[in-house]
Structure formats: C-alpha cells, structure tokens
Chains A and B, each alone.
Chain A
Amino acid sequence: YLNGFHFLSGNTSVELSANHYCTILSNDFLQCTVYNTATTPKHLVGIEYIISPALFETLDLQERQLWHSHSYEVTSGFLIEPGMPSTIDHTIMEILVGTYGKTAHTWRYDAKDLPVPIGVPELVMGYTSDSQITPEFVTARDKLFGTNTTAIKESRKDICAPEVIEGADSWK
C-alpha cells in the first residue's frame, strides 16, 4: 500500500494524492489499484502497473512514452507507504527507485467531485523534480497521513537514483 502524487500528462498543476494497493506478480512486475484519498467511500480511480528497468528496456519507444520513472518520487519522499515500518519501507524503496510505472485514471481528475466517472481514461505521470509540485499539497498529504516528507527524504539520501532510461517521462 503506497501513497504518492499523480499529475496529468502535460499539466503539472493538476495534482492528486493517490493510494495504491499493489500485488507482486513477478520479480519484475507489480499491478496496483489506485484510489482517491479525498473521497468517502474511496473511489477507484485507476490502475498502475510497475515494472523493472529490465522489462522497461524490452518496450519499444512508442510504448515507453506511456510510462513514467519513479526515481525522483522515491528520493524526494513523495512516495510513502503508510503504516509500514521504516526498515521494510527503505528496502522496498531501494527496489522501486529504478522502476517505471504506467498509470491510467478511469475516474478522471476533472470528474472527481461528480457521482459518476465520466469521460475517457487519462494518462497519468509522476513528478520528476522539486519545482513541479506545490508545497501546500505535500503539507496537506503529511497532515492526512501523519508523515514528514522532509524527514523521509533525508532517510533516503543513501538510495542511489539510477539514470532514467530513454523514452520515459515523455511529457517533459
């Protein structure tokens, strides 16, 4: 169970805090169901698939455009695992830092306050640098989960962020 931030491909100002519930299907592949933390009961907003760098490299360039890197999300502390003991969390983050995600929201951001998920799925990306997210959004998330993103970032200083493979984060 992870919480991270998504924004819509091409529009970094549209921010969403998303809960991911993931299953390990193989050593190189996770599949996650994504829920909107701001709704009650929690709306199922989409799906994310997470793959290893080795699997990402098997994709052609056109397919890679649909995927985003997790390197920055991990090292910045944006990606957290609510309730997870910190030692296990650290080990998981060492793995996730090099992975790539493909995320689609079936319940679009612009329909989040509606009773019905209208529209077609939107492709979603992850953050890749400090300047893309508003600090208030992070503070609000920390308040909700009782976390301290700054402290988490500190604790991950030893995690090596691998270079992002060509083709990912195509929105930039």
Chain B
Amino acid sequence: MASQTTHGATGGPTTTKDNVLETGASLTQSFQPLKAICAHLNAFHVYASDPSRSVEANHYCTHLSADVRQCLIYDAPTNPARLIGVEYMITPRLYEILDLEERKLWHSHDFEVRSGMLIMPNSSLPAAAWELSETEEMKEVVGLYGKTYHFWQVDRGDTLPLGKPELMMSFTEGSQVPWEKVKDRDERFDVSTEGKMKARRGIERVRVSEDADGCWKK
C-alpha cells in the first residue's frame, strides 16, 4: 500500500537534462488535446476480475461531444501522479445502440453520484458555492455509462505498469464499499460524502440497464 502514496515512478531522479528538455517542449510545442480538459472527478474503481480490490481514481475529462466524454485517470491529484488508466463516458442514448457483448463492458454511475462518493475536488472556491455547481454537474453524470481500463495496478504495489489492461467497474450499492477508504479520501480532500449525498437528494434515481455492471452479477 505504501506505493499508493508515492505517485512517482521507479528510476533515477529527473536530471537537469530532463528538465531542460521538458521546458523546451512546453515552450515550443502545442499540447492542444490536454488543454481541452475541463473537469476533475474523484471516485473509486473496482477490478471487474476481482471486485474486492478497489482503487481511488482521479479523472481529468474532456467533452468530445454532447454524448461522449474521455478521461485520463491518475492515482493522485498531484504532480507527479501516475497515469493509471482511461475512462470513456457516454449517454444512455448511445449506450442503447451498443450490442449486448459491448454493453457488458460498461458500468453505471447512479450509485456513485447519489451516494455522494463521486466528487469534483476544488480547493480554490468556497465549498458551498462549489457544491452547487458540482451538484448541477452530477445531474448530467448520474445517467452516464462508463467504460474504464487500468494499466497500472498501484493497489498491489506495482512500481511499473505490468500485465494486460484490466477492465474496471464502479460500486453499485453500499454493502460493496470499503467505507474506511472513502473516509480517508474525504479527509484528504476535506469533503463529506454524506453531506454530498444529502445535497444530491433531489437527483432522481435513473433506470440502469441490466446489461451494465456485470462484475456484480456473476
């Protein structure tokens, strides 16, 4: 578990040469797709192959269209942080045209949103003001389906991204959740999952397709 907090990578410290190269690049190159990132979400993913294992995931997302978002997933909201996976999110409208085998790879966000577990960290604005915006955004996210793959199993202490990509899913009910991990996350981000659950009481439960969230249905 110690490596879950290091957020860096195996190897020697970055050298002056590395730093000069990075500076040269950032001054002369265009990093357009990365500038399109417009949201930071924090939640937990579970391994579809072993739902007893879960990992905290910091998502940095972009809208590709009104129906599709793409997110980079890091193990921490810091610099440095390890890039551990990718998530795509789509509206029910698009999910419904997928065939059954494809639908099984996707997970719902209804529980994550209404339980308060999915948050949008923000330390610059006053909490109450930010929470209003966050709740509005959650009304959009609650109905989305996500497809997530992780490449770096930081929760088992891997210091490198080993093995094949792992399909990930989300929690769909309270009994599945390791609440002490959520509590730890709340402390670090200075938020209250329970408080957010209350703030989101007005968000109606969405109808989730029975083809999603397969890891809980075996």
Contact = CB atoms under 8 A, between A and B. Distances in A.
Contacts of B70: 43-44
Contacts of A54: 11
B126 interface: no
B65 to A, nearest CB: 7
A160 interface: no
Contacts of A102: 151, 161
A165 B170 CA distance: 39
Nearest to B87: A106
A62 B162 CA distance: 10
Nearest to B26: A1
B62 A41 contact: yes
Given A81-B25, A104-B151, A28 B86 contact: no
Interface residues of B, number: 51
Given A35-B33, A84-B28, A85-B28, A28 B10 contact: yes
A21 B33 contact: yes
Contacts of B167: 120
A84 B25 contact: yes
Given A1-B29, A43-B70, A118-B98, A29 B17 contact: no
Contacts of B25: 1, 81, 84, 88
Interface residues of A, number: 47
B33 A26 contact: no
Contacts of B36: 41
Contact of B10 (A55, A118, A119): A55
A26 B9 CA distance: 6
A91 B24 CA distance: 11
B124 interface: no
Given A25-B80, A84-B24, A55 B11 contact: yes
A91 B21 contact: yes
Interface of B: 8-15, 17-18, 20-22, 24-25, 28-34, 36, 62, 64-65, 67-68, 70, 72, 80, 82-83, 85-86, 88, 90, 94, 98, 102, 105, 147, 149, 151, 160-165, 167
